[in-house]
Structure 1
Amino acid sequence: MGNIGFRIYSDFQRPPRNLVNAFGDIPVANIADNMNRTFCIGGKIKSYNSAPLVGTAFTVKTRPGDNLILNKAIDMASPGDVIVVEAQSDTTNALIGELMIAWAQERGIAGFVIDGAIRDAATIKEMTIPVYAAGVTPSGPYKDGPGEINTPISCGGVTVRPGDILIGDQDGIVVINPKDATELLENARKTVSKEEKVMADIKKGVWDRKWIDEALHSKGCEFLD
């Protein structure tokens, strides 16, 4: 029987890179609207710089406050991977800082999503690799383990599997199953076009708002003088 909770899987299937990159110019909100407003990582995990996030999930499960397995993940991940870390939302100890992030960027890693804490926030703010985390603390990590690499994890209330597509902007992050990606991409692009038309109507002062009263009436809202 394997060493459950302390094991590393080296291989998983990644979706085509051109499919992943095609989501890069679509707002996360427009993508989420076509997923019934689900599969968005919880808002407690925030962006710590303005770099957009586009990549495939390389998952890490670690004991809160410990980054041994995360260090290994950085050395294993491929260019275009986003390292996603489950650390039980604990922010007592930072799991990563400037040096590890700089090394990951040098290796072509596409970003970090950490359900835990970071440090060196002022430097990270100026970096061009996207970093999302649940908090900041100067207290550093331990390096003892255990942990797992490339198993399904929970991050910000969403299940993330190795190879999932992650798209992030200043609103947050959405997690996409590659099996849904082609149809979702088409629908999200249609949403972008619809919103562009609405914005044009707003600027002309002709935005059609009839749907509001129609919805209120259909739900039995009482209108009183």
Structure 2
Amino acid sequence: MIEEPPLLTIRRDAPRPTPEQIAAFQGVPTSFVCDAMGGGGALSPAIQPIGFGRDIDCTAAGPAWCAENGAADLLATLAALQTITPGDILVAGADGHQTCAAAGDRVMGMLKNRGGAGFVTDGPLRDYAGIVKVGLPAWCTGLVPSSPFGKGPGTVGGSVAIGGRTVCTGDMIVADRDGVVVVPFARLDEVIARLEKVKAAEYALDAEVEKGFCSPLDLEAMLADGRAVEAG
């Protein structure tokens, strides 16, 4: 016979980014962060800014505070509200369940009251009008009116498998209208250092495009050295 698990497991041993590391990701587009990670880090595009960002400015960056829930449950999410650090982004796994909301406007309101910077889930949300009124940035798979239960079991402060990746408490979440990117805690300094190069390259190219620059390819050179050929 399988042993019944505890309703809640709360972990408090996860590492946390420094204030300087957190500040380095503020206001940085997700595309820049992905480039600094060699093209990786993004969650599945199924996880989108709620309402596609038309009514809420869905831009946020902060450490992940993870709540692992079972399907159609939110007990870990509710426990995370009491343990989250202001500025964190609550990453609430719903086991990918799509026929029941992972949370609604009241949870968003309480999370905002606790100082949370945003909410990310692999399930849908509910109470769209109420969430817009709260104004907290949120990323989800859509909307559905049905409510979750709060029975558990669940884990807070550990890790969550979400959007094709494993997110650990203490990883950095950077999210905007393009989606959600996860920077593992162990790679923070490496990615921050690369971000400066990405920013410089992106801003330089922006300036060139504004001046009329049309193409980054030198087709004549490619034809000359055989990297391109003309056919027909």
Contact 1:198 1:207 in 2 (8 A): no
1:119-141 deviation digits (Å, cap 9, x = unpaired):
11233235432111112111111
Pairs aligned (count):
225
Instruction: Measure, in 2, the Cα distance between the counterparts of 1:91 and 1:213.
Output: 52
Partner-residue secondary structure (3-state), 2:136: coil
In structure 1, what is the equivalent of residue 73 of structure 2?
66
Secondary structure of 2:57's partner? coil
Uncovered stretches (5+) of structure 2, i.e. residues with no partner: 51-55
Structure number having the greater strand percentage: 1
Contact 2:120/2:140 (CA < 8 Å) preserved in 1?
Answer: yes
Specify the alignment match of 2:174 in structure 1.
167
CA contact (8 A) 1:65 1:94 kept: yes
Instruction: Give the alignment's Cα RMSD to 1 decimal.
Output: 2.5
Aligned to 1:43: 45
* Partner residue of 2:192 out of 176, 185, 209: 185
5+ long unaligned stretches in structure 1: none
Residue 56 of structure 1: SS of its match in structure 2?
Answer: strand
Q: What is the match of residue 14 of structure 2? A: 12
Output one character per residue of 1:45-87: Cα deviation in whole Å (capped at 9) or x when no partner. 0111323111111111111111122111111111122111221
Q: Alignment partner for residue 32 of structure 1, among 19, 31, 34?
A: 34
C-alpha distance in 1 between matches for 2:127 and 2:229: 54
Residue among 205, 208, 215 paired with 2:212: 205
What residue number does 1:142 align with? 149
- Per-residue CA distance 1:159-202 (angstroms, 9 max, x = gap): 11111011111111111123322231232122122122112211
- Using the TM superposition, give the Cα deviation of residue 115 of structure 1 relative to its aligned residue in structure 2, in angstroms: 0.8
Seen in structure 2, the aligned counterparts of structure 1 residues 31 and 4 have a Cα distance that, compared at 3 Å, is: same
Matches of 1:195 and 1:82 in 2, distance apart?
27
Aligned residue number for residue 165 of structure 2: 158
Q: Secondary structure at the residue paired with 1:210?
A: coil
Distance (Å, rounded) in 2 between the aligned partners of 1:168 and 1:218:
42
1:40 CA drift (Å)? 0.7
Rounded Cα–Cα distance in structure 2 between residues aligned with 1:12 and 1:216: 54
- Separation of aligned partners in 1, 2:72 and 2:226: 49
Indicate conservation of the 8 Å contact 2:43/2:162, yes or no.
yes
User: What's the CA shift for 1:4?
Assistant: 7.4
User: TM-score scaled by structure 1?
Assistant: 0.89
- Using structure 2 for the length normalisation, give the TM-score: 0.87
Q: CA shift at 1:149, angstroms?
A: 1.4
**Percent of aligned pairs sharing the same letter:** 27
Helix, strand or coil at the partner of 2:102: strand
